[in-house]
Amino acid sequence: MAASARSKKKAARSTGAATHKKPRAAPAHKEPGLLARLEKGAVICAEGYVFELERRGYLQAGAFVPEVLLEHPEVVEQLHMDFVHAGSDVTEALTYYVHREKLRVIGREKDLAPMNRAALGIARRVARRTGTLFAGDLCNTNIYDPEDPGSLREVERIFAEQVGWAVEAGVDYFVAETFSWTGEALMALAAIRRYSKVPAVMTLAIHREEVTREGHSPAEACRRLEAAGADVVGLNCHRGPRTMMPLLKEIRAAVRCHVAALPVPYRTTPEQPSFMALTDPCCGNQRAFPVGLDPFMCTRSEIFDFGREAFALGIRYLGVCCGAGPHHIRALAESLGRHPPASRFTVDMSRHTIFGTDKRIRKIMTDYRPKA
């Protein structure tokens, strides 16, 4: 078969929505899978790649489409490596917002398949090199409208084709994340169940109101996702540790399956419970989202405390979402008593020039401590 004919056939197979055929899966991976690891203890999943790549100057805030995948794949690969070095057990393909609707908005729909395949290829390479789990990723489509059959058909197509590419790449499991509608999350889960055989981690993102867009409590939405076959249910994004924790307690009590918790690393409050709601008093109380959130950033010790509290509640799938840097993931790993490679450089003030206690530090410096 000529190369072009083969790639056309491959492309046709990839758009599973049109044919409703199961995509051909890559050979199964032999490492302990997600569910086996969760039975033994916590699984840490770094998320928030889009925010971190925006800070590094490789994609634009607003659209938040990871165009960097084709332009600087080496930067994405290094970011995955940085998060694994800091303690992530998972390398999640950066297919967040690499769906048909988002690429249409930025005029790059023709790059849909190459970008998905690039993201999956990079993540698989890092996962297999590092022994981490290789996760596929589905997310909010931003067109879901329960009253509009045309939008539902398009959502179905978006999920089917993204599941197809991920299955071809051999993902170990799926993350389906950042849904504000239970209905949309259920559609993503249905696509995973229909076109793949791997586990599904389903996480909802809760805005200011403590309900999904159709009015379900997070606990009720998670109960429905569990009933529909999700392996892990919970929350990601939007809320910081302080305003996510009360909802997590309700979810933990409402379901039997494993629970996921991946807050944003921002100091959200009961008055401004999501990072989109935060306003900055130093800047005329303007909305801080998305590029003025720096003064609200959680410290490493806040993430450490969150990890400890969540694990004590019986929540085993843990991570940090938009805004997370590798230092947050290291703090989370250390909260579970782990010592990832990056922990070699965890702070040790005993050697500090002024605050240190090491006997080799000169007295002329330590005497100056009260004035430092």
- Per CB under 5 A, residues contacting Zn ion are 237, 321-322
If the CB atoms of residues 97 and 195 are measured against Zn ion, the closer one turns out to be 97
Whichever of 50 and 86 has its CB closer to Zn ion, that residue is 50
Q: Where are the alpha helices (DSSP H) in 140-291?
A: 149-169, 182-195, 218-227, 241-254
Residue placing its CB nearer to Zn ion in the complex, 237 or 255 = 237
We find the least distance from the C-beta atom of residue 48 to Zn ion, in angstroms, to be 5
Closest CB to Zn ion among residues 122, 237 = 237
Order of strands, sheet of 173-179, starting from the edge strand that comes earlier in the sequence: 43-46, 317-320, 258-262, 232-236, 200-204, 173-179, 133-139, 90-92
Evaluate whether 222 touches 233 at the Cβ level (below 8 Å): yes
Shortest reach from residue 262's CB to Zn ion, in Å: 8
Q: How far is the CB of 260 from Zn ion (least distance, A)?
A: 13
Q: Is 291 exposed, middle or buried (0-12, 13-18, 19+ CB in 10 A)?
A: exposed
Of 163 and 321, the one with the shorter C-beta distance to Zn ion is 321
Of 164 and 241, which CB lies nearer to Zn ion in the complex structure?
Answer: 241
Inter-axis angle of helices 73-85 and 326-335, nearest 10: 20
Q: How far apart are CA 167 and CA 42, in angstroms?
A: 25
Give the nearest distance from C-beta 303 to Zn ion in angstroms.
Answer: 14
Q: Minimum distance from CB of 272 to Zn ion (Å)?
A: 17
Least CB distance from residue 241 to Zn ion, whole Å?
13
Using the minimum distance from each CB to Zn ion, give the nearer residue, 93 or 237.
Answer: 237
203 neighbors 178 (Cβ within 8 angstroms): yes
Q: Min. distance of Cβ 34 from Zn ion in angstroms?
A: 20
Strands 279-280 and 286-287 turn out to be: antiparallel
Report the C-alpha gap between 134 and 123 in whole angstroms: 7
Smallest distance from the beta carbon of 50 to Zn ion, in angstroms?
A: 8
Count CB neighbours of 267 within 10 A. Answer: 19
Inter-residue contact 34 to 173 (CB < 8 Å)? yes
Question: If we measure between CA atoms, which residue out of 2, 22, 320, 368 comes closest to residue 191?
Answer: 22
**Distance separating alpha carbons of residues 113 and 98, to the nearest angstrom:** 9
Query: Residue 296 in contact with residue 267, Cβ under 8 Å?
Result: yes
Are 134 and 124 in contact, with CB atoms under 8 Å apart? Answer: yes
Closest CB to Zn ion among residues 115, 204:
204
